[in-house]
Structure 1
Amino acid sequence: MRVLFGATPNDEVSDDDLTTLYASEASAAKPWMRCNMVSTVDGSATGAAGDSGSINNDADGRVFHTLRALADVIVVGAGTAKAERYGPTDRPIVLVSRKAQVPESLRDAPAGSVYLATCSRSDGVDSAREILGEEHVLTLGSHRVDLPLLKKELAERGWVNQLCEGGPHLLRDLVFQGCVDELTATTVPQLVGGINGRITEGAPIQTELDLTLLLEDHGTLLGRWRVKN
């Protein structure tokens, strides 16, 4: 792995280097939400198996694990957590679901390791509280999840380094509502065709980005993009 842009050129980027290169600007006064996504050269966010695991590779995996190690909390859409078969991690996971759905793979997670952000009008709130515990279900908004309030709520719990791992609808909504500070995007050297979705889905948005770092590893490009909020 080598640095192409944004730092001193280096053809041998170590794991310690990655930790430095991906350090965030989070502070108690300024929570930092980073969204991490992967796609192919032809824009697909998934491969033949219908998940990102069928397109990511070792280079993407190195950055993925670096970002998780730097994070205080992992935010992910419940649908993505289900499709990607999420299990408990050493960081708290916050599921975002308007329907208050908890994927099967996380229902038996240790108490306090999984939270759910949902809305008060959801029919699934009572069931989610039974599964996760009432104190771990955050009702933020009435008809849809109030994402800026979620970012603030997580920061008030001391989770200022916030890592969102998708999916595409959640990323789009987070950007639209002004919550995202940074996008880390991996482009893998594959073409997959088909009608697979992109890393953002939903109503059109137009948001400019500034490239702050670009790495390369055997054709895989790994970038840090600051969102111009």
Structure 2
Amino acid sequence: MTDSFELQRLRDLSDDQLQEAYAPRGEPWLRVNFVSTVDGSATGADGLSGSINNDADKRVFDTLRKHADCLVVGAGTIRDEEYDVPAVPVVVVSRRADVPPTLREAPRGRVLMATVSSSEGLDRARELLGHDNVLVLGEDEIDLVALKAELLHRGWRDQLCEGGPSLFGDLLAAGVVDELCWTISPRLVAGDGPRIAGGPTVDVDARPALLLEQDGTLLGRWLVRAQGAG
């Protein structure tokens, strides 16, 4: 697949073609997947992303999860969206080492925690998840460069982050994001909902590589870093 692209109809792509269209471009490959409204909100009026997604977004969401070797998700997003235990390992990012309630009964090895040595929740996280599944990556701030490298060391080349905005902003600031997969839902919600990236200001270039459309929904791939970097 080249960097030139044209708008394609999502319905025209078979499942195999969609899988190929979203194939990673390097190893390791860390991509972030978000949905937002046309006016930029990452959530609906209920504060959840589920209220603004649709069938087109769900099809790409499922495709990305089929590719993924692991998920990387902020603890707050997991709590808010009430994640079930996914089919692939999920890495919970939390400076407090707080294991979300919906994941506390998961089989060992299906849930990991990325946290810091100063966290008061370390012992409890190790008790729930197992010592080897709690990744201590810094004293007060999580080293996201080290996290990406640790996941690759475990054989997880295709790393999929599903938010939230603060984690996305931190990943951008750390320079470890390779790709943004972004769905624009054809809705306007106004209000003061969050953007897809939050936190301190960053200035990162992104190049469009794929654009799909279905019933007014736009779904694209944006390359954030050069292939093979990091």
Write out aligned runs for 1:218-229 (5 A): 218-228=215-225
Q: Structure 2 CA distance, aligned partners of 1:87 and 1:6?
A: 36
Is the 1:99–1:122 Cα contact (8 Å) retained in structure 2? Answer: yes
1: CA distance, partners of 2:23 / 2:209: 12
Partner residue of 1:57 out of 54, 58, 61: 54
| SS across alignment from 2:12 | coil
TM-score normalised over the length of structure 1: 0.94
CA 12–178 in structure 1, closer or farther in 2 if over 3 Å, else same: same
> Given residue 178 of structure 2, which amino acid in structure 1 is its aligned partner?
D
Q: Deviations over 1:103-135 (max 9, x none)?
A: 101001111100000000111111111111111
- CA distance in structure 2 between the aligned counterparts of 1:7 and 1:163, rounded to whole angstroms: 25
Post-superposition offset of 1:90: 1.2
- Paired residue secondary structure (1:23): coil
Residue 187 of structure 1 is matched in structure 2 by 184
Name 1:171's counterpart in structure 2.
168
Gaps of 5+ in 2: none
Match of 1:122 among 103, 119, 124: 119
What's the secondary structure of 1:214's corresponding residue?
strand
Please give the per-residue CA displacement for 1:46-92, whole angstroms capped at 9, x wherever unaligned.
00221100100000000000000001000000100111111111100
Task: Please list the CA deviations of residues 161-203 of structure 1 after superposition, one character each: whole Å capped at 9, or x if unmatched.
Answer: 1000010000000011011000000000001111111101111
Please name the residue that 1:12 is paired with: 12
2: distance between equivalents of 1:137 and 1:81? 17
- Asked if 1 retains the 8 angstrom alpha-carbon contact of 2:8 and 2:213, the reply is no
CA distance in 2: counterparts of 1:161 and 1:71, whole angstroms:
5
**Cα contact 1:35–1:171 (8 A) shared by 2:** yes
| Change beyond 3 A, Cα 1:143–1:68 | same
Task: Name the SS for the 1:190 alignment partner.
Answer: coil
Alpha-carbon distance between aligned partners in 2 of 1:170 and 1:81, rounded to the nearest angstrom: 12
User: Cα RMSD over matched residues?
Assistant: 1.4
How many residue pairs get aligned? The number is: 222
2:57 aligned with 1:82 = no
Paired residues of 2:39 and 2:190 also in contact (CA < 8 A): yes
Amino acid in the other structure paired with 1:13: L
Please give the secondary structure, in 2, of the residue aligned with 1:129: helix
Query: Separation in 1 of the partners of 2:175 and 2:35?
Result: 21
CA distance in 2, matches of 1:97, 1:9: 38
Structure 1 residue ranges, 4+ long, deviating more than 4 angstroms after superposition: 7-11
Q: Percent identity?
A: 54
Once the two structures are TM-superposed, the CA of residue 8 in structure 1 deviates from its matched residue by: 8.8
Letter aligned with residue 135 of structure 2: L
Q: Map 1:89-128; keep pairs closer than 5 Å.
A: 89-128=86-125
Q: Cα distance 1:155–1:218, how it changes in 2: closer, same or farther (>3 A)?
A: same
- Take 1:181 and 1:228, find their aligned partners in 2: how far apart are those partners? 5
Q: Quick check: 1:37–1:185 contact (8 Å CA) kept in 2?
A: yes
The partner residue of 1:134 within 131, 145, 156 is: 131
Once the two structures are overlaid, the 10-residue window that deviates more, 119-128 or 6-15, is 6-15
**Residues 87, 109 of structure 1: 8 Å contact kept:** no
